[in-house]
Amino acid sequence: LRIDAAELMVVRLPLRFRFETSFGVQTEKVVPLLVLHGDGVQGLAEGTMEFAPMYREETIAGGLHLLREVFLPRVLGRTFANPQELEGALGGFRGNRMARAMVEMAAWDLWARMLNVPLGTLLGGTRTSVEVGVSLGIQADQAATVDVVRRHVEQGYRRLKLKIKPGWDVQPVRATREAFPDIRLTVDANSAYTLADSGRVRALDDFDLTYIEQPLAWDDLVDHAELQRRVLTPLCLDESVASAQDARKGLALGAGRVINVKVARVGGHAEARRVHDVAQAFGVPVWCGGMLESGVGRAHNIHLSTLPNFTLPGDTSSASRYWATDVINEPLEAEDGLMQVPTGAGIGVSLNREFIGQVAELHEEMRP
């Protein structure tokens, strides 16, 4: 696994829907992309940090700085035995896992393309298609919520997740459950509650939710364990699991009974697989979360979701929901709630260089 050169790009894509969560409204996505070149192939990765540190602490500007000044200089011009050895070369650094994950994920794609196998197969996955759901932003009112749920139920999505916040939780959930008694329904609070709101969270026990995602602070496990003792519905940890060690501690404390695995949040595929394995050892199901990824991150997510303990539908819905034009050439479209896993080598998708050339705000090349 030789790393000869790297390309860093930043692309701004308009979102096809207004995405409101407990931390604000999003109408576009700024997508950092990394291409690693070596042995005549290219490995692709996408960064999931955002403009501002709203979801976790990382930002695009901070990530680009670290990639240029710290992480890429550690790998450029070097040869590694495998992606795990490359991960180790970045393993001494603290935090900033989304930025480190860009290098690690591009290396996995490069390695899988060199070996001419699909990434999912290389990671130990066996599925040829994965079950997917959708994550639906906060809507203007209950009627709009039921409406957007209906449209996505009709498209076949296998899990409907509603974003909630204090003051907008039981209302959309009750309206949705009354209209659709049988759907697999979940909610995501993105850390908007505190233990003082536990009565409000417990009120959600009446609606047969599969889980309640990240109700409490982004860096908390202890209060989640207390909240889990007070509510019947399983809690699902997202923001507050940044590593396999966090997963072990959270599950040992009883902080949740489901884990949302986001490959970039935990630092890459190797760590995502360790989170998957820890959860499996605890008898806890995982699913693959999304961060409104372009086709590059989406393809990575689909491959990761082929591992056996990804037994709940992921966020990896059709790319056409998000973008009029994607940064990759291939469509990634779910049918009847199933996303086919790309069968080509690596992540199995290729960059639409012409489109990227038109919309890139940054495109720079680095060599050793």
User: Which sequence positions are flagged as catalytic?
Assistant: 163, 262
Burial class (CB in 10 A: 0-12, 13-18, 19+), 296: buried
Q: 90 or 227, CB closer to ligand OSB? A: 227
**How far does Cα 238 stand from its chain's mean position?**
9
Which regions of 2-76 does DSSP assign to beta strands (E)?
A: 5-21, 24-38, 41-46
Closest distance of CB 260 from Mg ion, Å: 6
Encoded one letter per residue, x for contact with Mg ion by CB under 5 A and - for no contact, window 211-230 reads: --x-----------------
Closest distance of CB 296 from ligand OSB, Å: 13
Q: Where are the alpha helices (DSSP H) in the chain?
A: 60-66, 72-75, 83-89, 97-115, 119-123, 142-154, 170-179, 198-202, 222-230, 244-253, 269-281, 295-304, 319-322, 353-359
Point out which span in 157-165, 206-214, 302-310, 329-337 binds Mg ion (CB under 5 A). Answer: 206-214
Q: Which does 198 bind (CB under 5 to 8 A by kind): ligand OSB, Mg ion, none?
A: none
Closest distance of CB 243 from Mg ion, Å: 17
d(CA 334, CA 320): 10
Binds Mg ion (CB under 5 A): choice among 46, 188, 220, 293: 188
Residues 359 and 12: beta-carbon distance below 8 Å = yes
d(CA 213, CA 133): 14
Q: Applying CB under 6 A, which residues contact ligand OSB? A: 55, 135, 188, 190, 238, 289-292, 315, 317
Closest distance of CB 135 from ligand OSB, Å: 4
* Termini Cα distance of the chain: 15
Q: 188 or 271, CB closer to ligand OSB? A: 188
Q: 306 or 317, CB closer to ligand OSB? A: 317
Q: Strands 5-21 and 129-131, how do they pair?
A: unpaired
Closest distance of CB 163 from ligand OSB, Å: 7
The residue count for binding Mg ion (CB under 5 A) is 3
Count of other CB atoms within 10 angstroms of residue 152: 20
Look up residue 272 and give its two tokens.
Answer: 């995502």
d(CA 229, CA 6): 48
Instruction: Pick the closest to residue 37 from 87, 95, 76 (CA basis).
Output: 76
Closest distance of CB 315 from ligand OSB, Å: 4
Point out which span in 32-40, 150-158, 218-226, 235-243 binds Mg ion (CB under 5 A). Answer: 235-243
Q: Which residues pair with 196 in a beta bridge?
A: none
Q: Which does 290 bind (CB under 5 to 8 A by kind): ligand OSB, Mg ion, none?
A: ligand OSB
Q: Which does 291 bind (CB under 5 to 8 A by kind): ligand OSB, Mg ion, none?
A: ligand OSB
Q: Which does 233 bind (CB under 5 to 8 A by kind): Mg ion, ligand OSB, none?
A: none
Q: Which does 326 bind (CB under 5 to 8 A by kind): ligand OSB, Mg ion, none?
A: none
d(CA 90, CA 173): 43
Look up residue 199 and give its two tokens.
Answer: 């009565």
Q: Which does 240 bind (CB under 5 to 8 A by kind): Mg ion, ligand OSB, none?
A: none
Residue 271 touching Mg ion (CB under 5 A): no
Binds Mg ion (CB under 5 A): choice among 50, 238, 246, 271: 238
The binding site for Mg ion (CB under 5 A) comprises: 188, 213, 238
